[in-house]
Structure 1
Amino acid sequence: MSPRSNLSVAQGAALSVGAVLGTGLISLPALAAEAAGPASLVAWLVLIVLSAPLAWTFAALGARYPDGGGVSTYAQMAFGRRVAAAVGWCFYFAVPLGAPVAVGFTGGYVSGVLGGGRFTELAAFLAIVGTAYAMNWFGLRVSGRVQLALSICLTTLLVVTVVAALPHADLANLTPFTPHGWTGIGAAAALLVWGFAGWEALSSLSGEYRNPRRDVPRATLIAVAVVGVLYLAVATVSVLALGPALAGSRAPLADLLAIGLGGPVRIVTAIVAVVLTLGAVNAYFAGASRLGAALAAEGALPARVFGTQRRSLTLILLGSIVAVLLPLDLHTAALLVTGCFTLVYVIGTAAALRLLPAGGSRVVAGIAFVAVGGLLWLNGWPALFSLVIAGGAVLHQAVSGRGRASSVSPETVREESSA
């Protein structure tokens, strides 16, 4: 047994849950309710059900082809270097767009405590991204254990929120169930991809298990169940306890805790939201800066512009500042980012259809492919942004003529796992 192959089922499940649970959940229930009303619960349920074949597909790929490169590796194996570069571009350019969205979620909690509205939210954004930039510039890294602890903190907050607010649930808040029509469910589902991004981490973790063929399926089932229960519980209690007020809430978890516990809970939730978001943005900046430099080294990005980690990092910061100044609401900005994630999943599941042997795993991959293809369509016009990014990667590869497929794991964009 190799020294590194000692990941237990419990540890693997915890890491997978940590990769999927994100800061978006602190505001996603409100955004989904704004799009679909109480019917957003259907969208949550659909995403939970669809996440199972998606998670299983990446687990099957990881068990058969254990490699840290994740979706990029599978795209290269199945379709070649140009498609692999498109995966890298989608992850890299989603980060500067995603930072304002992630911090925007938290800004609602901070402004709820300090007041100041948009000005306070912008100040919170600059403080968080500036701190993350400085930490990465000077090489200060948040360990994988700290990242996991932050995920546990979020999980604890969710459980406490559900338990505290549950006595205030009212079934009358389920009516009208579809205030925006049944099409609102599709719009909500496209948004909720943000909260389910991360299942591709299963493939990169597979080589670390003691017995991948036995342990990967077990850890996958546990992770899918935990994430599904947490998400559905928070969404259901949010709809039942807050009612119509949920759609306009900037800090739904704080509102739920205020109903259930009272007292200075908004201060507590604001602090937790800031810490969680700083950890997430720091991890995204760290991973994306390395991804950009690696893509440049392999010819998949212009080396003069992205050729060092600090250059890549600075471009991410500048892109984030430009993005936050664009006249986009959180709803649209989130769709632009989830479109990039969804396209990566389309490529990943398509690769699985070519790489996995005939049988049950390929059938599951086919189900996942159809599901994420449908989600990309539901994303609407913002999905065109992801297609433009992927097209740019393919065009650059064709023009440069020297690109090589990146083996950098997209999961490095999500978290720094080294201690």
Structure 2
Amino acid sequence: MSQQLKQEITLLGGVGQLSTTLLGTGLFMIPAIAANIAGEWSLWAWILLLLAICPIALTFALMGRQYPNAGGTAYFVRQAFNSKMERSVAWLFLSVLPVGLPAAITLAGGFGKELLPSFLDYRYLAELITLALILALTLLGSKSSSQFQALIALSIFVLVAVFFWQGNISLDDIAMPSLNASAALPIGSALAVMFWCFVGIEAFSHMGEEFKNPQRDFPIAIVLGCFVAGFIYWACSVVILKFHAFEPNVASHSSIPWLSEQLLGNKLAVVITVIGYFACFASINLYTQSMIRLVWAQAREYRPTSAIARLSKRGVPTIAAYAVAAVLLFSISFGHLVNLDLELLVKLANSVFVMLYLLAMLSAFKLLTGFAKYLAGFSTLLCSIVFLCLGWSMLYAIIIFGLLMLPWEKWFVRK
């Protein structure tokens, strides 16, 4: 059986996958949080963030075009450094599996339980259904997944467009506020929160091998996906600022449902809940898909005859999918039993993501040439600054990566 993933993802499907991943749960919280921190200056913060993320996104795009592989950042690191570091990066990314994804699934479950009948209105059940849907979508193949997420991206775009229409947004509302020295601190504080809206590009790099035309479409999908997500965030912020849909008037996580009620009435509450659920679902889906592909890619490289390295007739790494789903099921259940702090889990996961960005940019700096090398160097500097801004939570990623880089194999061989 062929050990290559099917190349089924189109340009439109890729843009849909990345944009919905970047939006995810962020659209339903971050614009309101940014407005609370920086007020009207948050509109400038979105533009600055998009400008800052462009070098990183372009570097990922260039790497994905030159090295399309399901291993993603781990594969980039191997090309730049060695297989030992590659395996460490792979396990570093997989360390998000028991902490970050369960927290995200729990957030999706909050929307999902509202869609269940009253006698089944339980968050845990909604989380299990979410996990089952992701597994089912995975087994159908990447083409079905990308088309589904493109539909979600379109739904989110339509929702924000309706807000613009019903909110009578005028040229005065979208006029950029004047800047002065006092804007620097609130804009900087807002950017520290808003950066997480663009965590997801590293997960998307695992999908490069499955594009129909990776050399052409993969880099375009990354750039367009970032711009689509950035525009939607900015447009949503315009509406939130006009109607003051942020604290202390409205809780951050309730800003979009509150706007919907004000502009569209209660009749569309279910529609907003559905869009909110699937926006969360889309983000979780891509991360789960990328982890499945990373597990499979590592097995293909180092255990090619093992069951986990096999593909189904649809070209899906089935065993890897079941293995990842089992870990998620255990993590979700364990989290409910001990009542884990989800905010803590998210912070720990974010430290891993930023380190992965940093390692990917370092790899790009070593592998690329010409202008692309300078671009990767600038991106490395940006990621380093962000990593330092994480504070104590960056220790999680540093400790895990440090432990993974220890010569465990040599120690065990000597014994």
TM-score interval, smaller chain: 0.7 to 0.9
Please say if residues 68 and 214 of structure 2, whose CA atoms lie closer than 8 Å, have aligned partners that are also in contact. no
- The yes-or-no answer on 1:384 pairing with 2:382 is no
Picking from 258, 267, 270, the partner of 1:267 is: 270
CA offsets 1:352-381 (integer angstroms, 9 cap, x no match): 000001x21112112211112111122222
- The yes-or-no answer on 1:344 pairing with 2:356 is yes
Following the alignment from structure 1 to structure 2, what is the Cα–Cα distance between the partners of residues 285 and 5?
19
Residue in 2 that maps onto 1:152:
154
CA offsets 1:92-135 (integer angstroms, 9 cap, x no match): 22233223543454466578999x9xxx7xx32x1233124445
Picking from 336, 341, 344, the partner of 1:328 is: 341
Q: 1:362 to 1:58 in 2, by over 3 A?
A: same
Deviating above 6 A after TM superposition, structure 1's stretches of 4 or more consecutive aligned residues are 4-8, 110-114, 136-140, 168-171, 296-300
Residue in 2 that maps onto 1:54:
56
Following the alignment from structure 1 to structure 2, what is the Cα–Cα distance between the partners of residues 139 and 18?
16
Once the 2 structures are TM-superposed, how far is the Cα of residue 158 of structure 1 from its aligned partner?
Answer: 3.0
Following the alignment from structure 1 to structure 2, what is the Cα–Cα distance between the partners of residues 298 and 274?
36
Q: Secondary structure at the match of 2:77?
A: helix
Following the alignment from structure 2 to structure 1, what is the Cα–Cα distance between the partners of residues 411 and 71?
20
Residue in 1 that maps onto 2:129:
131
Once the 2 structures are TM-superposed, how far is the Cα of residue 76 of structure 1 from its aligned partner?
Answer: 0.8
Please say if residues 238 and 246 of structure 1, whose CA atoms lie closer than 8 Å, have aligned partners that are also in contact. no
| Structural mapping, 1:102-141, within 5 Å | 102-106=104-108, 123-124=122-123, 126-134=124-132, 141=139
- The yes-or-no answer on 1:72 pairing with 2:74 is yes
Following the alignment from structure 1 to structure 2, what is the Cα–Cα distance between the partners of residues 207 and 354?
25
In structure 1, the gaps of 5 or more residues are 404-419
Calculate the TM-score normalised by the size of structure 1.
0.73
Once the 2 structures are TM-superposed, how far is the Cα of residue 349 of structure 1 from its aligned partner?
Answer: 0.5
Residue in 1 that maps onto 2:372:
361
Picking from 300, 315, 320, the partner of 2:327 is: 315
Residue in 2 that maps onto 1:250:
253
Once the 2 structures are TM-superposed, how far is the Cα of residue 71 of structure 1 from its aligned partner?
Answer: 1.1
Q: 1:101 to 1:195 in 2, by over 3 A?
A: farther
Please say if residues 20 and 283 of structure 2, whose CA atoms lie closer than 8 Å, have aligned partners that are also in contact. no
Following the alignment from structure 1 to structure 2, what is the Cα–Cα distance between the partners of residues 6 and 99?
25
Once the 2 structures are TM-superposed, how far is the Cα of residue 147 of structure 1 from its aligned partner?
Answer: 2.9
Residue in 2 that maps onto 1:415:
none
Q: 1:250 to 1:38 in 2, by over 3 A?
A: same
Residue in 2 that maps onto 1:99:
101
Q: 1:318 to 1:9 in 2, by over 3 A?
A: closer
Following the alignment from structure 1 to structure 2, what is the Cα–Cα distance between the partners of residues 88 and 96?
14
C-alpha root-mean-square deviation of aligned residues, in Å? 4.3
Q: Secondary structure at the match of 1:244?
A: coil
Q: 1:268 to 1:258 in 2, by over 3 A?
A: same
Once the 2 structures are TM-superposed, how far is the Cα of residue 25 of structure 1 from its aligned partner?
Answer: 1.8
Picking from 378, 382, 404, the partner of 1:393 is: 404
CA offsets 1:193-237 (integer angstroms, 9 cap, x no match): 33212334368537846583x666655543333222112111232
Q: Secondary structure at the match of 2:96?
A: helix
Once the 2 structures are TM-superposed, how far is the Cα of residue 249 of structure 1 from its aligned partner?
Answer: 2.9
Following the alignment from structure 2 to structure 1, what is the Cα–Cα distance between the partners of residues 28 and 391?
24
Residue in 2 that maps onto 1:407:
none
Q: Secondary structure at the match of 2:253?
A: coil
Please say if residues 97 and 320 of structure 1, whose CA atoms lie closer than 8 Å, have aligned partners that are also in contact. no
Please say if residues 102 and 331 of structure 2, whose CA atoms lie closer than 8 Å, have aligned partners that are also in contact. no
Following the alignment from structure 1 to structure 2, what is the Cα–Cα distance between the partners of residues 197 and 8?
22
Please say if residues 27 and 105 of structure 1, whose CA atoms lie closer than 8 Å, have aligned partners that are also in contact. no
Range with bigger deviation, 42-51 or 158-167: 158-167
- Between the two proteins, what is the percent identity of the paired residues? 24
Residue in 2 that maps onto 1:28:
30
Range with bigger deviation, 280-289 or 231-240: 280-289
Once the 2 structures are TM-superposed, how far is the Cα of residue 10 of structure 1 from its aligned partner?
Answer: 5.0
Following the alignment from structure 2 to structure 1, what is the Cα–Cα distance between the partners of residues 330 and 249?
33
CA offsets 1:261-293 (integer angstroms, 9 cap, x no match): 223333321122224434544554455356457
In structure 2, the gaps of 5 or more residues are 1-5, 307-318
Following the alignment from structure 1 to structure 2, what is the Cα–Cα distance between the partners of residues 139 and 103?
15
